[in-house]
Structure 1
């Protein structure tokens, strides 16, 4: 009985922590209408870094080149590819005068990561305003550059966007990947709105050359193979210089992993990068995940023993109500409405997967990098 009493009171605390996150922190995936200035169209350098991405470049570069924007260049970085990536880039350049190619050769491989290649591309870019995406991504509309760039201002030099994954019907894995993407977006958008940005995604992010060099580029984390997007935001982003873009025309879309194993490898890399975040961000993220795990474990114990079951059930209902309200709102804004009916099941799958990744990373470091 004493043990159940302790579990009960811990469960109450854990539930209120969850209500704090879902009821307050994660309620900030929103943006006022007319917040951006659609008439502000600075010259933009769109930067794409590619390594062995010949097929994806052939498929997706036309969507970038077809953007309805008055003044933009496309900087293509060939990061030591050993396929036909460079030839594909050169073929596009032959037909488009606004393409610039940066070819990173093998003799420069001692730097060992994408950040060095990106730095060369950034130095070669003509304009002060950059918009980044990956070689396997495409803008969902012809207004992508226009929407993302319209959020630049004298103060706002870092714009966080959303990178979706293509929907695949009748695929549980696809739904799980997209749900994880939505939950991650809910967190980084919400923290940014609260004045505490901690990450962004390279599939859709914009910042200025001025900000990049103020931060000394990637030098503070050049030795870490990943993190050209989230570690940069974690380092330099603050309440003054960072904003978000939630316009559906500003989204990008890419193909999700097709096997659970490939997705786990990708997520292990992302999780390992998060260990280099600022202490306050690691603490907040750890608190949320720990409270999630304890909510399910302790709730299951209390329900199975019928210990104060009316109160326990009430807390569970309150927590799920807060979750559904804010995840539903965010899913609609991010054009992921089809996930809403599956949220309870997907959340459990995701927690189990994240716990597995956490244990796996404790045992061995991920060593496969794109």
Structure 2
């Protein structure tokens, strides 16, 4: 069996693409582990104000709020819940919890608020009510992974940083694809933050300085947009090389399983939000390049395999199969390492498949967004 120069060139190209496509993988670009110095226990740790907005969230607050209120944190902290004029038992749940926890404070926004995001208004009210410089934002459907959550954040809330970002993972009952999408989105945003200027934040685990928020008038520039509160905060308030990313397990936040409608609406709202964010093109270019290289690699392998079957060329067939095997194995190993790093129990084999499905899922959502009424994303 003779192998000509063309076969060598095509087979070499397939191998090169298999390797490059694995290197063009956001999970291959590692995140640093959170490391604390030996003197951390001696440093002056800050007090925190945790701000949570709630709307018809009685059951969520009853389940999750005690985790916020039971942190082991010696310097002290307060939890401020802002009720967005709920119509369920939210107020009664908060009254009962306030009797048990002295560090819980509550306030509300009136039902008459119009033409602006009630969520952003609630967070603004919470920040103004806060007594401490460092504010941590979270949601009613979230809870800290550990009672050392504040301790993990405190090591990074110092003079060197003005924003601290933590990971929010969906609970184990959530669909694997939803968890994978959160995982990969967070990895991209964390990498962006660590490489200069942060772009946005996924999840509900974010610390900023009250003085920064008040100095720039909070959400004044984007109050009319329904959602995107954490994206706008990071995009507007981030300073070059002053955003920290906490990756220790104690710093993680757990979020309750979202419904399909909630998950879809969240992603649709982001498609509207990103039109108003700075640095959007450079951030999305990285993702688009990774997806392009991944799909070109698989298309090349499938094309060569199909051609080899048609002309009965065993060399091309073996090369295509081997390169496909190399691609899958490399991406499996990289995905498994990433899952372990973020404490995710998603099967690495599933991730290899879901990486392909992510692009098509995004395209489907883009069509849905293009055909939607853009007024649905604006507070009326």
- Counterparts in 2 of 1:26 and 1:271: CA distance versus 1, 3 Å: farther
Deviates more, 1:242-251 or 1:191-200: 191-200
Deviates more, 1:184-193 or 1:8-17: 8-17
2:67 paired residue number = 63
In 1, Cα distance between equivalents of 2:170 and 2:144: 11
What do residues 156-198 of structure 1 show as CA deviations (whole Å, max 9, x unaligned)? 1211101111113xxxx61111111111122112222222422
Q: By how many angstroms is 1:247 displaced?
A: 0.8
TM (normalized to structure 1)?
A: 0.85
Q: By how many angstroms is 1:51 displaced?
A: 1.0
In 1, Cα distance between equivalents of 2:49 and 2:85: 21
Deviates more, 1:349-358 or 1:307-316: 307-316
5+ residue gaps, structure 1:
1-6
TM (normalized to structure 2)?
A: 0.83
Deviates more, 1:308-317 or 1:93-102: 308-317
> Contact conserved, 1:26 with 1:187, CA < 8 A, in 2?
no
Deviates more, 1:199-208 or 1:138-147: 199-208
1:111 is paired with a residue whose SS is coil
- Counterparts in 2 of 1:325 and 1:237: CA distance versus 1, 3 Å: farther
Q: By how many angstroms is 1:317 displaced?
A: 5.0
In 1, Cα distance between equivalents of 2:373 and 2:302: 32
Q: By how many angstroms is 1:358 displaced?
A: 1.8
Matched, 1:127 2:132: yes
> Contact conserved, 1:29 with 1:330, CA < 8 A, in 2?
no
- Counterparts in 2 of 1:261 and 1:224: CA distance versus 1, 3 Å: closer
- Counterparts in 2 of 1:231 and 1:368: CA distance versus 1, 3 Å: closer
1:106 to 107, 111, 114: 111
Matched, 1:47 2:55: no
Deviating above 6 A after TM superposition, structure 1's stretches of 4 or more consecutive aligned residues are 7-17
2:276 is paired with a residue whose SS is coil
2:136 is paired with a residue whose SS is strand
In 2, Cα distance between equivalents of 1:232 and 1:11: 43
Aligned residues: 358
5+ residue gaps, structure 2:
1-9
What do residues 229-278 of structure 1 show as CA deviations (whole Å, max 9, x unaligned)? 122212222442101001101111122224x4543333222333233332
1:359 paired residue number = 367
Matched, 1:251 2:276: no
Q: By how many angstroms is 1:147 displaced?
A: 0.7
RMSD over equivalenced CA pairs, Å: 3.1
